[in-house]
Structure 1
């Protein structure tokens, strides 16, 4: 409990110090700008205090805002009473100024402040709109109204000065204050090398020197020179240097212009007119430099990511057993990983510039070309296809390719990146599994499913094959007697011997299949019923004459059969017809051949 109390006290002390420091910083910023940039009894031409408060609120949790707002409001009222429009305007202007910071900070939280704000073009655009336009415009209405009521200032002129001064102050100083409050500046100083720190220092000194040289003389309109040095510092130093350079230019330009020096003094008009022109000059500088800085940072990050990605890609390509392939839209090889040597026997350099289709076997080139076109049109989706390719020694191997289109920023397809994997072993296993799925394990003959597939293929083309052929079904007579008296091994030998004799009896393109326990089917392609009866009769006689010796005992069997013609009704009808003929033969005495009518 004591430890918890101590922690609470310490936390409250830190929070109190934060409020006091924020109020003091706000007071200094407000007093400096009011006492030096206020003319003609109106509002200040440059307002930095709101930028200070916006940055502080943006780095605090909302529940801590109230204490800071009350403290800064009190500081702002004191500044107005001491240096500005007086006691009467103190509280109203304090409320207006604090409200502007709340509006800007709230809107910035809604557009989500990134880890590095000055490096995000999206955030920068939102920052300019909210902090540089919307919030100053809303507070300008209140501020100009207070100035008009209290001192009788022209409301239009006051609004223009308020908007310009607050917009310029927020756009110029908020980024730097955010860097300070987020500890980005401290982290940069800690991480920067001596060379980088020295370069940044020289760049800032260059901006200071050129800005001072330009604004210290009033004989030549050289306002473009500081802008050039700020842009140069932005290119060399990055977002942090860009923000600090803008602040340096603003401080030097405002200080010397207030002393009546600089190119702006060449203009006719009052000091207020000169400061107003300086506002537009600095605003144009800010709106030029910060977007350039953000875009350069974005490109730098992209280049870094691209370099890292390229390194990872190269590491994978050099060490992967798969082949990584880059093609252009026409299918020509841009890059191929070294693994092509191991899998295909090719030198990678020999393939660059060649059309990848030449590696595909001629029979598969059409499907590979269609897959390439599908990949180009898929919008970046993964496309997978299988094909046979030729190795360097002319051997065929199976490959699986997974491809994805590569698009530019506009969405136009620039090429294809693919990963190729050798699947030859898998194809062998698939073929073995396919064979096993369609083969009877005892006789090694096609099974019933394989027989049906062959029958369906036979009747697919009715125009070119008007005479389909016949189907015969054979069934052993009293096969159970063989198993019971001679054993199942004898029964298995009988089944295998039937397959051997049947294969020797039919033609080479006919099909013999075991479709059941002791039931076999024969597909006689393009045979008439009479021709099929002759062939099947030879088979029946051969089975009846077959003798198998088991343990010194001869085993004889007979088989009955039924033959039917194949018609357009399909496989099931011809099976029923052949079955009917088979059972008619059994009813007629067995060891006979039935004919379907």
Structure 2
């Protein structure tokens, strides 16, 4: 319907209702017993939006004025009364909207009461005094009667029209018509007809007081059709009973009084009827709602119970089961009927029963309303399953008292097994972490908070909770040198570049020391965009491993005995130094050092002493070099020093000389002195390859050794050729040893008293196939360095003894023994073998040793000499007066012969030298040793040595060294050759 027509139709309806009321006053003595016009307007205002109120109020106000005027009141009263009618409708509509949430639904008795107050009590009471005053002023009727009539008529009109109008207006009738079947429609029509017939019957007779009989069909309609039935019946009651009563018919005629009095009594009856029927309808609706909700709830509950995998059980307070859901079959193997009437304790595992019983007692006693437990239940097949059981008490709907409980049982066997496995796994992990050195950390990247395990705190010496758990505090514990590397690796993992984070770094302990840690982690949570949100990991204390690695690394690059860098580290440092020198354009120096006489000390006094010597040398080298200089032990008795920045060769030479002077100082070992020297080769480098510089220094070192040891030499270009020649010579020397390609020359030794030859000194000679005769001064040092001197010495002993057997029996043969050969434990065996093989008498063999033998280890040397003397051979001290001579040698071992070095004989004309010779002779005489002057080349020298007391002499003055086949010329038929006064041999 168009909205513009509604106010018009409403106005005509209002006018019609008002006119009907005026017409009915003809039968009630001028009293309007019901005013339905205001109820129609109020219903419209409630049902329509406020935007449509203005037109409706204007139209109905005008209609009210017309109707009032037709009632016999003048315009003076019609206008105020019309305004009051409109005001009453507005007030009722406003109160109804505020007091009743859904007007017309009558959902409860309270809502019915508020409805009746909003439309039938407050508005009429408010407007009645004003309307009564206006009516009394115009008509002169009593004010009180007018108030009562206005209130009753308007209240009855509101109760008559509004319930049905609101229900119809809100579509209640339409909805019922759509949903009702034919039977319901017939039943409704029958009840309406019954209400009409009963009302007509009751109000058509005047003899019986059957007024309340009309409530029977009204109540039937209410119970059957609710609010709609009640409102319809009440409307019929007023529409039929009211007019009949006003016409003088009906049970109210039994009451004495005027028509107006009976009309008021009818109003009272209708009010009682409304108070009976409408609350009943409301309560019925409320109960139907509850029943529907309960039915829906029960349906949903049953649907849930019968379709859920959980087992639902309803039990009484004595724990007897009254209902069991179908899930019992799948869960326990029982049909629901098999479990109804049973009690849960009959199925609970014995170990869980006591706890289960205590919980049920607390529940059924009302001490707790809800409870949860986990227990084992026996299945029908005898197996046990774990169930989570939730209990909740239930109440009786009428009394509100607890009448039982509902239990929900869920199978958690798999979850419980998983939880148990997880618990055991966590225990094992915790045990592993506690017994090992692992710590655990968990970093929330959004908050910056870091959680740590107790092991992590213990590693750093903190008590749990003592250290702060934010990332800034943790980062402050990192060693400064490790922060950037750890940050770089962590960012790489955050970005997904690496599958895990792994880093070794140092952390500062509480005591200030640092520990090495190996940290491994993995991002376990990322945002939708891939941003890392959380990372967890482990932390292992690897300090011991790291120290071991550092120790291994140190051992890999350092000499274990001396602590100096070894050859590997030296080579790397030399390479870097050479590269830096080339880049800077400044030279550096390399000093190659080789100890002199170390092998003799090591062999004669033992390796322990040799180790002490090497350690002392290393310490002395450390004291010499500066912080930026580098010293290393290359192996054996070889050392090297790198001077990274030198001005010139002289500066490097000064350092080399300082090394020689420092190393050459005596070394005290257990009260005994050991003396070693050092030879140094110096090479400068700037742009040359490192290996070439090292070779240059090595060549200079060999040159220094060849020059007499304890000296240094700078590398010179010619040394390379000399080194090559030396290597070639060594190769030839080895071949000569294998092929025994040596020969002996013999130089006679003359007794100065008799002039007779008393013996010969065997001198080693070597003729190289390529180079010819090689001087002993060239190949003997090489033999000593290479160790070939020992087999050469053994061959010399054998050869000399064998050839001496062809000489006269009183002629001796002297063989030189090198210091290296003397230190060999096999020397005594070699002497025995030579004597035994040749058959030479021991007293005819004379071994010549130098002072060097005695210097290395005097005690050991003297012991060896004693054993050799015990064989019966003679011992001569050769080159006496050179080197580090000591009178203690002569006291500790009585040599058979002392040979004065040729350097004294050459200068014997010098009084000081002559005095030295004289002193040596005196010492020899007192020790019982004979004296041999070496290197006598002139007659003058011969005279002087005789004058000084020498007993023997040898030298070119008598003869050069001769091959063995020429020695025989010194032998005559009568014995040995005798030298005459002119030093000529006499045949």
Partner Cα separation in structure 2 for residue 107 and residue 137 of structure 1: 14
- Structure 1 residue 84: Cα displacement: 4.8
- Structure 1 residue 381: Cα displacement: 7.6
Q: Deviations over 1:267-292 (max 9, x none)?
A: 11110011011111111111101111
Given that 1:439 and 1:447 are in contact with CA atoms closer than 8 Å, whether structure 2 keeps it comes out as no
Q: Deviations over 1:75-123 (max 9, x none)?
A: 1111101225332211111121122221221111113443861343332
Give 3-state SS (helix, strand or coil) of 2:319's partner. coil
The equivalent position to 1:200 in structure 2, one of 179, 182, 188, is: 188
1:219 matched to 2:199? The reply is: no
Q: Which residue in 1 is equivalent to 2:21?
A: 33
Q: Which residue in 2 is equivalent to 1:413?
A: 402
1:239 matched to 2:224? The reply is: no
Give 3-state SS (helix, strand or coil) of 1:335's partner. strand
Partner Cα separation in structure 2 for residue 438 and residue 372 of structure 1: 33
**Counterparts in 2 of 1:27 and 1:403: CA distance versus 1, 3 Å:** farther
Give 3-state SS (helix, strand or coil) of 1:117's partner. coil
What does 1:244-393 align with in structure 2 at a 5 Å threshold? 244-369=232-357, 371-372=359-360, 383-393=371-381
- Structure 1 residue 395: Cα displacement: 2.6
Moved more, 337-346 or 65-74: 65-74
Instruction: List structure 1 segments (4+ residues) > 4 angstroms apart after TM superposition.
Output: 38-43, 369-383, 440-449
Taking CA–CA contacts closer than 8 Å with sequence separation of 6 or more, which of the two structures ends up with the larger relative contact order?
A: 1
The equivalent position to 1:144 in structure 2, one of 116, 129, 132, is: 132
- Structure 1 residue 237: Cα displacement: 2.6
Partner Cα separation in structure 2 for residue 121 and residue 447 of structure 1: 76
Given that 1:43 and 1:147 are in contact with CA atoms closer than 8 Å, whether structure 2 keeps it comes out as no
1:134 matched to 2:98? The reply is: no
1:433 matched to 2:419? The reply is: no
Give 3-state SS (helix, strand or coil) of 2:407's partner. strand
**Counterparts in 2 of 1:244 and 1:329: CA distance versus 1, 3 Å:** same
Given that 1:38 and 1:45 are in contact with CA atoms closer than 8 Å, whether structure 2 keeps it comes out as no
1:68 matched to 2:56? The reply is: yes
- Structure 1 residue 404: Cα displacement: 3.1
Q: Deviations over 1:168-202 (max 9, x none)?
A: 22122211111232232233223321111111001
Partner Cα separation in structure 2 for residue 406 and residue 352 of structure 1: 18
Give 3-state SS (helix, strand or coil) of 2:35's partner. coil
Q: Deviations over 1:314-356 (max 9, x none)?
A: 2222222111121223332221101111111222123223333
Give 3-state SS (helix, strand or coil) of 2:2's partner. helix
**Counterparts in 2 of 1:150 and 1:236: CA distance versus 1, 3 Å:** same
- Structure 1 residue 406: Cα displacement: 2.8
- Structure 1 residue 376: Cα displacement: 6.7
**Counterparts in 2 of 1:370 and 1:57: CA distance versus 1, 3 Å:** farther
Given that 2:318 and 2:364 are in contact with CA atoms closer than 8 Å, whether structure 1 keeps it comes out as no
The equivalent position to 1:166 in structure 2, one of 146, 149, 154, is: 154
Given that 1:401 and 1:419 are in contact with CA atoms closer than 8 Å, whether structure 2 keeps it comes out as yes
> What is the count of residue pairs matched by the alignment?
443
- Structure 1 residue 40: Cα displacement: 7.7
Segments of 5+ residues of structure 1 without an aligned counterpart are 1-12, 453-515, 519-597
Given that 2:43 and 2:166 are in contact with CA atoms closer than 8 Å, whether structure 1 keeps it comes out as yes
**Counterparts in 2 of 1:42 and 1:413: CA distance versus 1, 3 Å:** farther
Partner Cα separation in structure 2 for residue 14 and residue 294 of structure 1: 34
Q: Deviations over 1:237-280 (max 9, x none)?
A: 32211110111111110111111111111211110011011111
Give 3-state SS (helix, strand or coil) of 1:144's partner. helix
1:423 matched to 2:423? The reply is: no
Q: Which residue in 1 is equivalent to 2:65?
A: 77
- Structure 1 residue 431: Cα displacement: 0.6
- Structure 1 residue 427: Cα displacement: 0.6
Over the residues paired in the alignment, what is the CA RMSD in angstroms? 3.1
Given that 1:43 and 1:162 are in contact with CA atoms closer than 8 Å, whether structure 2 keeps it comes out as no
**Counterparts in 2 of 1:84 and 1:330: CA distance versus 1, 3 Å:** farther
- So what's the TM-score if we normalise by structure 1? 0.68
Structure (1 or 2) with the greater helix fraction: 1
Q: Which residue in 2 is equivalent to 1:538?
A: none
Partner Cα separation in structure 2 for residue 196 and residue 236 of structure 1: 9
**Counterparts in 2 of 1:442 and 1:94: CA distance versus 1, 3 Å:** closer
Given that 1:41 and 1:153 are in contact with CA atoms closer than 8 Å, whether structure 2 keeps it comes out as no
Give 3-state SS (helix, strand or coil) of 2:3's partner. helix
Partner Cα separation in structure 2 for residue 64 and residue 380 of structure 1: 59
The equivalent position to 1:87 in structure 2, one of 68, 75, 85, is: 75
Partner Cα separation in structure 1 for residue 82 and residue 362 of structure 2: 65
Given that 1:404 and 1:416 are in contact with CA atoms closer than 8 Å, whether structure 2 keeps it comes out as yes
**Counterparts in 2 of 1:196 and 1:35: CA distance versus 1, 3 Å:** same
Structure (1 or 2) with the greater strand fraction: 2
**Counterparts in 2 of 1:438 and 1:132: CA distance versus 1, 3 Å:** same
- So what's the TM-score if we normalise by structure 2? 0.42
Q: Which residue in 2 is equivalent to 1:546?
A: none
